[in-house]
Amino acid sequence: MNNRFRLPVAQAARLAVVATLLFISVPVAQPGQAQPLGSSNLLLNPGFEEGFSDGVAVGWWSWDTDTTRFEDDQQEPHSGNHAQKTSWSGAYLEPMYGGLYQQVNGLTIGDAVSFSIWHNWPGDRAGQWIKVWIGIDPYGGTDANDSRVVWTADGQYATNYYQQLSTTATVSNTTVTVFTRAQAGYASPAYVLWDDAVVTSGPWRYVYLPLVARNYVPPCTLQNGGFEGNYVQVSDGTRVASHWSPWWNDKWDPDNFRNAKPEYNETTTASDPAYRIRSGEKSQQYGVNWKHYQAGVYQQLTGCAVGDTLRFSAHGLGFAARVMGSSSSDPDGNLQMKVGIDPTGGTDCCDNVRWSEAAVSLDAYRRFEITATVQSSTVTVFLYSEPLHEPIIQWFHNTSYWDDASLERLP
């Protein structure tokens, strides 16, 4: 089995023992928590309640590829009596996309600006999918294709209940522009609803952290076991938690739909039900529709002592369902998960890896653990998933979720 090492493992700088702690003020991006300027919401008609013109809510403007229709929806608003509907007839073979935008004036350059909005994809989802994004142009342009627009990454799949998207950027002009974008995947009718948008702006919040605490990492320490913080864009469709790297079996077999490359992304409550995050605000997910895969993430640890016994554990959850848009797994889903340690520190899964027992844990987190004796100053820990239900082509959802990994040195 081959693994693809897409992201070099960051080696943390070790600092000498410091007698006096040095505190440094650093700006920290906190989406949705910037202080507002004068009001709680800077948008015009944020709830789409103040009328429509040619199907577009007053205060908003449309952008599209001549395939998108805009309408007032009064059937399924998130709140109030109206929502903005964006729809496609399905008459085009290429992906159909379009959205809304609004400019916000009177901001202060260097401040934070935060944008959030709720989206919903009601109705019959058979044979269809829709991806949604929101974005901010910190320079105030109105071209959704401008490279300066800061979009939420990769596009999240819309759901048949309301969920919230949010993003934050640094103001680069006294005017900024916020965008929505939705993309229909197939040549069949589809639509998405938008409601209850919020834009706030104000100074970045600051925290004070000791220099030692921010930089020193003890030897043989697992980092970011909670899969929190920023996710690194390794390649298209591959976003992994910081300090982790993706691996997958790359021997793709098109005849049997085996060994596909999964898509990796962060799990948030805006993209998935809350139970798919065991603790904190995020978890690591990866999967692929209608295909088999052997894949996971790994992390190398340095400074380990030969002869020590280490215990590695992580909590895994599988989501396996035949029907697109299912809210829960089918009971006969067979998505196997396990964790491993390579005591020699290799990154080629899975020559020298000592594995835990594999198990299925659908729609609920289960703890997996394994112990191993260190054979090198570098040790590698692995997470592994493999859908084994057959025929795989009948299973749309094959997604793995991981959270709360830890590494312990045993007496």
What is the DSSP track for 191-225? EEEEEEEEEEEEPPPEEEEEHHHHH---TT----T
Whether 52-201 and 219-410 share one fold: the answer is: yes
What pLDDT, on the 0 to 100 scale, is given for residue 215? 56
Q: How far apart are the C-alpha atoms of 20 and 3, rounded to whole Å?
A: 44
Q: Which two tokens stand for residue 199?
A: 């834009």
What pLDDT, on the 0 to 100 scale, is given for residue 216? 64
What pLDDT, on the 0 to 100 scale, is given for residue 156? 67
Counting other chains too, the contacts that 10-14 makes at CB distance below 8 Å and 24 or more residues apart are 10/242, 10/243, 11/302, 12/215, 12/216, 12/217, 12/223, 13/215, 14/216, 14/217
* Under 8 Å between Cβ of 223 and 243: yes
* Under 8 Å between Cβ of 200 and 178: no
What pLDDT, on the 0 to 100 scale, is given for residue 155? 63
What pLDDT, on the 0 to 100 scale, is given for residue 89? 76
Q: Would the pTM of this model clear 0.75, i.e. be above it?
A: no
Q: What is the Cβ-side half-sphere exposure of residue 251, based on CA atoms within 13 angstroms?
A: 3
Q: How far apart are the C-alpha atoms of 261 and 295, rounded to whole Å?
A: 8
Beta-sheet strands, E only, within 231-307: 231-235, 238-241, 245-248, 263-267, 283-287, 295-301
What is 219-410's CATH topology? Jelly Rolls (2.60.120)
Phi and psi at 286, nearest 5°, equal: -160, 155
Q: How far apart are the C-alpha atoms of 326 and 289, rounded to whole Å?
A: 13
Which neighbouring-strand residues pair with 233? 239
Q: Render pLDDT for 180-213 as a digit per residue (tens, 0 to 9).
A: 998 876 656 778 899 999 999 988 765 554 544 4
Which neighbouring-strand residues pair with 360? 336
What pLDDT, on the 0 to 100 scale, is given for residue 65? 64
In the chain, which stretches have pLDDT less than 70?
A: 1-39, 65, 90-95, 123-128, 153-160, 185-188, 205-216
By the 10 Å C-beta count (0-12 exposed, 13-18 middle, 19+ buried), 55 is classed as: middle
Selection from 313, 303, 384, 314 nearest residue 350 by Cα: 384
Selection from 391, 387, 367, 371 nearest residue 379 by Cα: 371
How many angstroms from the chain centroid is the CA of residue 159? Answer: 15
Beta-sheet strands, E only, within 23-121: 23-27, 52-53, 56-57, 61-64, 68-73, 83-88, 96-104, 112-120
Q: How far apart are the C-alpha atoms of 82 and 197, rounded to whole Å?
A: 13
Q: Which two tokens stand for residue 79?
A: 């709140």
What pLDDT, on the 0 to 100 scale, is given for residue 23? 38
Selection from 2, 5, 411, 41 nearest residue 235 by Cα: 5
Where are the chain's structural domains? 52-201, 219-410
Q: Considering only the top CATH level, what class is 52-201?
A: mainly beta
Q: How far apart are the C-alpha atoms of 406 and 322, rounded to whole Å?
A: 33
Q: How far apart are the C-alpha atoms of 145 and 226, rounded to whole Å?
A: 34
Q: How far apart are the C-alpha atoms of 302 and 137, rounded to whole Å?
A: 41
Counting residues of the chain whose pLDDT is more than 70, the rounded percentage is: 81
Q: What is the Cβ-side half-sphere exposure of residue 316, based on CA atoms within 13 angstroms?
A: 27
What pLDDT, on the 0 to 100 scale, is given for residue 168? 87
Sign of CA dihedral 78, 94, 63, 42: positive
What pLDDT, on the 0 to 100 scale, is given for residue 404? 95
Q: Is residue 254 reached through a cis peptide bond, with omega within 30 degrees of 0 on the bond before it?
A: no
